[in-house]
Amino acid sequence: MQQLYPHTGKAHVIGITGPPGAGKSTLTDKLAKNYRQQGKTVGIVAVDPTSPFSGGAILGDRIRMNELTLDPGVFIRSMGTRGSLGGLSRKTADTVKILDASGKDVIFIETVGVGQSEVDIVKAADTTVVVLVPGLGDDIQAIKAGILEIGDIFAINKADREGVERLNTEIEMMLDLNQSSVDWRPRVFRTVASRSTGVDELIAGIDEHIDYLNRSEELSKRRIQRTKNELLALLEEQIGRHVLSKITSTGKLDAMVLSIEQREKDPYTLVSELLASFLR
Amino acid sequence: MQQLYPHTGKAHVIGITGPPGAGKSTLTDKLAKNYRQQGKTVGIVAVDPTSPFSGGAILGDRIRMNELTLDPGVFIRSMGTRGSLGGLSRKTADTVKILDASGKDVIFIETVGVGQSEVDIVKAADTTVVVLVPGLGDDIQAIKAGILEIGDIFAINKADREGVERLNTEIEMMLDLNQSSVDWRPRVFRTVASRSTGVDELIAGIDEHIDYLNRSEELSKRRIQRTKNELLALLEEQIGRHVLSKITSTGKLDAMVLSIEQREKDPYTLVSELLASFLR
């Protein structure tokens, strides 16, 4: 990663996020094909936050994208969280950097966007497309509220379904209420990814956002903020690893845990004591 | 928390997790009412991983549970991730401890279970109920695979919908393939929470799991593992906070970020240098 780093920063990174069942994989597939037809090379990082346990879903994604996998101009990497202990957003960012350094023009990060870790993952993107779908019930309200502020572009997929007008109105209303960026008003598109409907228009919307990022100071601002977050996360992870190996190597961890479990000590006091012994 | 800690460890903690739209809040509501009728006091920690941005969903949960909020034997705490920087699972665990120390007999942790952070949250529970629902489309496969191993009990909610038999068979098949615990075979229940159908049976299943936990060494094993994880997470968080405050107080952070962004330095080398300066 040290050697790759100087070669990064050239690709445009597009985040694709949304609730389960929104058709993110299919839409990413169609967007990737469209960019390929424009002669651009494409990387796809498909993050599956549920695979820590089984790994089963990864195969599904690979199968779904099999047309693309035959194209040497496309590189697809599926990632799960197995053993990552919360470091998934950093690993995703590293994978994006590798694809970036390898010369991919456009890189997609695709993830189910309903939890904090998924939101963190998408923060590695320059442009974030939030994919929603009509008629997902009550919790969709919560999801919409949660990912509203990370969406640069909204795609209402499966737009041939009932409820598309209502969802469109709701999103527009929320965008009106929630103007975090003065310069960019997120746009809402309708797609039916399975039939490639609306994909050209969505690509035009993404291009428009890229133009905006380049024209304004926004791209540089976003990338500096991202670098800052990545630096701090990396630092925290490395320190955590160091301390963990120290504690476990002394063999004292089990005794500590037992004394806490038996309520002889409390974890808060114990951590204060440990901190003093590790830090300058 | 130091003073509360000796008074914890008495409540039974029940995790309720599942995909958006599964009806977790309604089911938690009905379960809580049932325990209240048995004379038990109830705590509910409703974790909303999407509220870091808007906070909007929290109100929805409160309104949904308004019957319960009038009952002095019930305490409900809604939590978002605002400003928590990944520490949500610890904050949830702390909230559970406070309710535990306050004397609540049963404590529910309710969260949308599709991401790693949500899975971490539910690890604070003694018994985890995974709520699924028929007909949520393709991604449900991924979700099922992901939460299969954390479920002690499965509830198929909205079981009056089409597809309930197929989902039931799928879950049973996966449970057959995936016998992580030799002693406890997760049971599958069907509920229609909105009409209180199947809630008594689900409670009986939870009681059966509590009996199993108490009979076997499993409860003690789980709690020791949990204490270990909590200790390490707390340590990591405290160290991270300490280091962050040191770096930002020196005022060097912005200069570092800029040199990385301009590819003069890479973050990996920089972190190695910083580590050496902080740790004994």
User: Between the CA of residue A141 and those of A22, A171, B27, B88, what are the distances in Å?
Assistant: 14, 10, 18, 21
Q: What was the pLDDT predicted at A106? A: 97
Which residue in B10, B27, B50 has the most chain A C-beta atoms within 10 A of its own C-beta, making it the best mutation to test that interface?
B50
- Alpha-carbon distance A94 to nearest alpha carbon in chain B (angstroms): 11
Taking only the tens place, the pLDDT of each residue in A227-248 is 888 888 788 778 777 877 877 7
Q: Rounded to the nearest 5°, which phi and psi values hold at B19?
A: -70, 165
Residue in B with minimal Cα distance to A219 = B261
Pairing of strands B74-79, B42-47: parallel
User: Residues with Cβ < 8 Å from A269, sequence gap 6 or more?
Assistant: B2
The residue length of chain B stands at: 280
Q: Are B145 and A235 an interchain contact pair (Cβ–Cβ within 8 Å)? A: no
Q: Are B227 and A267 an interchain contact pair (Cβ–Cβ within 8 Å)? A: yes
Beta bridge partners of B106: B12, B42
Q: Are A52 and B146 an interchain contact pair (Cβ–Cβ within 8 Å)? A: yes
Q: What was the pLDDT predicted at B113? A: 60
- H/E stretch holding B101: helix B88-101
Which residue in B8, B139, B248 has the most chain A C-beta atoms within 10 A of its own C-beta, making it the best mutation to test that interface?
B139
* Residue A90: CB atoms within 10 Å: 19
Q: What was the pLDDT predicted at B145? A: 55
Of B140, B141, B148, the CB nearest to A53: B148
- H/E stretch holding B243: helix B218-250
- Alpha-carbon distance B116 to nearest alpha carbon in chain A (angstroms): 6
Beta bridge partners of A132: A156
Q: Are A5 and B263 an interchain contact pair (Cβ–Cβ within 8 Å)? A: yes
- Are residues B106 and B38 in contact, defined by beta-carbon separation less than 8 angstroms? no
- Are residues A110 and A94 in contact, defined by beta-carbon separation less than 8 angstroms? no
- Are residues B65 and B33 in contact, defined by beta-carbon separation less than 8 angstroms? no
pLDDT exceeds cutoff 50 at A80: yes
A147 vs B contacts (CB less than 8 Å):
50, 53
Q: Are B231 and A256 an interchain contact pair (Cβ–Cβ within 8 Å)? A: yes
Q: What was the pLDDT predicted at A118? A: 65
Tokens 């919307």 belong to A205
Q: Are A279 and B278 an interchain contact pair (Cβ–Cβ within 8 Å)? A: yes
Q: What was the pLDDT predicted at B149? A: 72
Radius of gyration in angstroms for the set of CA atoms belonging to chain B, rounded to a whole number? 21
Beta bridge partners of A106: A12, A42
Which residue in B51, B116, B244, B257 has the most chain A C-beta atoms within 10 A of its own C-beta, making it the best mutation to test that interface?
B116
Residue in A with minimal Cα distance to B26 = A138
Q: Are B243 and A235 an interchain contact pair (Cβ–Cβ within 8 Å)? A: yes
Residue in B with minimal Cα distance to A269 = B2
Q: How confident is the model at residue A166 (pLDDT cuts 50, 70, 90)?
A: confident
Of B86, B228, B269, the CB nearest to A116: B86
Rounded to two decimals, the pTM is 0.69
Q: What was the pLDDT predicted at A149? A: 72
Q: Are B50 and A114 an interchain contact pair (Cβ–Cβ within 8 Å)? A: yes
- Are residues B134 and B166 in contact, defined by beta-carbon separation less than 8 angstroms? yes
- H/E stretch holding A75: strand A74-79
Ranges of chain B whose pLDDT falls below 50:
51-62, 83-85, 138-139
Q: Are A232 and B244 an interchain contact pair (Cβ–Cβ within 8 Å)? A: yes
- Alpha-carbon distance A141 to nearest alpha carbon in chain B (angstroms): 7
Does residue A251 sit in helix, strand or coil?
coil
Q: What angle do CA A165, A166, A169 make, to 5 degrees?
A: 85
Q: What was the pLDDT predicted at B114? A: 55
Which residue in A78, A173, A220, A235 has the most chain B C-beta atoms within 10 A of its own C-beta, making it the best mutation to test that interface?
A235
Spatial strand order of the sheet with A127-132 comes to A74-79, A42-47, A106-112, A12-18, A127-132, A153-156, A187-190
- Alpha-carbon distance B46 to nearest alpha carbon in chain A (angstroms): 13
User: Between the CA of residue B213 and those of B97, B218, B229, what are the distances in Å?
Assistant: 19, 5, 20
- Alpha-carbon distance B44 to nearest alpha carbon in chain A (angstroms): 18
Q: What was the pLDDT predicted at A140? A: 53
Q: Are A114 and B119 an interchain contact pair (Cβ–Cβ within 8 Å)? A: no
A268 vs B contacts (CB less than 8 Å):
1-2, 5, 234
Q: Are B239 and A235 an interchain contact pair (Cβ–Cβ within 8 Å)? A: no
Q: How far is CA A96 from the centre of its chain?
A: 11
Of A51, A53, A114, the CB nearest to B20: A114
Of B2, B112, B267, the CB nearest to A230: B267
- Are residues A48 and A77 in contact, defined by beta-carbon separation less than 8 angstroms? no
Q: What was the pLDDT predicted at A1? A: 87
Taking only the tens place, the pLDDT of each residue in A127-137 is 999 998 887 65
Q: How confident is the model at residue A252 (pLDDT cuts 50, 70, 90)?
A: confident
**Pairwise CA distance, residues A65 & A62, whole Å:** 5
Q: How confident is the model at residue A141 (pLDDT cuts 50, 70, 90)?
A: low
- Are residues B204 and B187 in contact, defined by beta-carbon separation less than 8 angstroms? no
pLDDT exceeds cutoff 70 at A276: yes
Tokens 């009056």 belong to B160
**Pairwise CA distance, residues B149 & B131, whole Å:** 13
Q: What angle do CA B148, B128, A115 make, to 5 degrees?
A: 70
A142 vs B contacts (CB less than 8 Å):
20, 48, 50-51, 56-57, 60, 112
Q: What was the pLDDT predicted at A49? A: 55
**Pairwise CA distance, residues B145 & A135, whole Å:** 24
User: Between the CA of residue B248 and those of A197, A226, B244, what are the distances in Å?
Assistant: 49, 16, 6
- Are residues B148 and B174 in contact, defined by beta-carbon separation less than 8 angstroms? yes
Q: Rounded to the nearest 5°, which phi and psi values hold at A243?
A: -65, -45
**Packing angle of the helix pair A253-261, B218-250 (nearest 10 deg):** 110
Q: Rounded to the nearest 5°, which phi and psi values hold at B47?
A: -95, 125
Of A2, A141, A275, the CB nearest to B269: A2
Which tokens is A88 given?
Answer: 């998934």
Residue in A with minimal Cα distance to B144 = A50
For range A105-124, the mean pLDDT:
77
- Are residues A278 and A244 in contact, defined by beta-carbon separation less than 8 angstroms? no
- Alpha-carbon distance B183 to nearest alpha carbon in chain A (angstroms): 19
